[in-house]
């Protein structure tokens, strides 16, 4: 499963990128607002750090305006993915931009039918939002599972990008289901390597190594 970082925080991206685990980045207008930076400037900086797909979201609402904005965003770097909302205008823009060879991430997906439409429109990625469904007591993981089934039924190549990930358990569950990609905030990714038994085991090994006089480094 590919790991994308869901943030526009340059320092957090650079730090995580050093682990070699970052396959891409996703941003949205709320994350850009949080960064306090200009969208073009910060997106360019992200693309300079990460060579994988970097999603930049349009703010236009009509298909024509989304296409224009998407073309501008795509000029930032070769690894830009134009992020479009799952509306009929977004789907129209998705078809046009995908036909031009641009990568497109269709976002704000909350149903299987929406995911089906995005695949038919040629989306590179579909972003179902797990956490926001969980927030209203709907099982977000069930949606990922259903989209997997539908895409596999028809051989769609659109990648399932599990988004709105809130916990480390979401990550494991998405991997079990077969999501192609997950995007999570840096705090969630940082927690993935932790386990209390790893910490306790390491402490014992270090203590015993010292007692045995083992010095390798």
Catalytic residues: 83
As a whole number of angstroms, the distance between CA 162 and CA 126 comes to 8
Tell which one of 107, 114, 124, 158 touches ligand E4P (CB under 6 A). 107
The yes or no reply on residue 43 touching ligand E4P (CB under 6 A) is no
CB 23, CB 200: distance < 8 Å? no
As a whole number of angstroms, the distance between CA 84 and CA 29 comes to 12
**Which tokens in the block code for residue 48?**
């300079």
Region of 115-123, 125-133, 193-201, 209-217 interacting with ligand E4P (CB under 6 A): 125-133
The yes or no reply on residue 132 touching ligand E4P (CB under 6 A) is yes
Collapsing DSSP states into helix, strand and coil, what is residue 115? Answer: helix
Pairing of strands 54-57, 125-128: unpaired
CB 109, CB 126: distance < 8 Å? yes
In terms of CB distance, is 21 or 214 closer to ligand E4P? 21
**Which tokens in the block code for residue 123?**
């989306």
Return the residues of window 8-27 that contact ligand E4P according to CB under 6 A.
26
Tell which one of 13, 22, 28, 69 touches ligand E4P (CB under 6 A). 28
Return the residues of window 160-199 that contact ligand E4P according to CB under 6 A.
163-164, 183
The yes or no reply on residue 129 touching ligand E4P (CB under 6 A) is yes
Region of 85-93, 127-135, 136-144, 191-199 interacting with ligand E4P (CB under 6 A): 127-135
- As beta bridge partners, residue 48 has none
Collapsing DSSP states into helix, strand and coil, what is residue 2? Answer: strand
List of residues contacting ligand E4P (CB under 6 A): 6, 26, 28, 107, 127, 129, 131-132, 163-164, 183
């Amino acid at each position: 499963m590919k790991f994308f970082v869901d943030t526009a925080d340059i320092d957090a991206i650079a730090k995580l990128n050093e682990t070699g685990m970052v396959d891409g980045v996703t941003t949205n207008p709320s994350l850009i607002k949080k960064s306090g930076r200009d969208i073009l400037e910060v997106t360019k900086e992200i693309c300079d750090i990460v060579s994988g797909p970097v999603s930049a979201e349009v703010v236009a609402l009509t298909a024509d305006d989304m296409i224009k904005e998407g073309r501008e965003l795509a000029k930032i770097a070769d690894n830009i993915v134009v992020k479009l909302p799952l509306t009929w205008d977004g789907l129209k823009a998705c078809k046009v931009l995908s036909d031009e060879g641009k990568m497109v991430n269709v976002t704000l997906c909350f149903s299987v039918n929406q995911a089906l439409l995005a695949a038919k429109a040629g989306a590179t990625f579909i972003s179902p939002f797990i956490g926001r469904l969980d927030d209203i007591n709907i099982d977000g993981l069930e949606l990922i599972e259903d989209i997997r089934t539908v895409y596999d039924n028809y051989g769609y190549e659109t990648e399932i990008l599990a988004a709105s990930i809130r916990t480390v358990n979401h990550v494991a569950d998405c991997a079990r289901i077969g999501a192609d990609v997950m995007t999570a905030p840096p705090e969630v990714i940082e927690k993935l390597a932790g386990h209390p038994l790893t910490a306790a085991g390491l402490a014992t090994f270090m203590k015993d190594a010292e007692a045995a006089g083992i010095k390798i480094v």
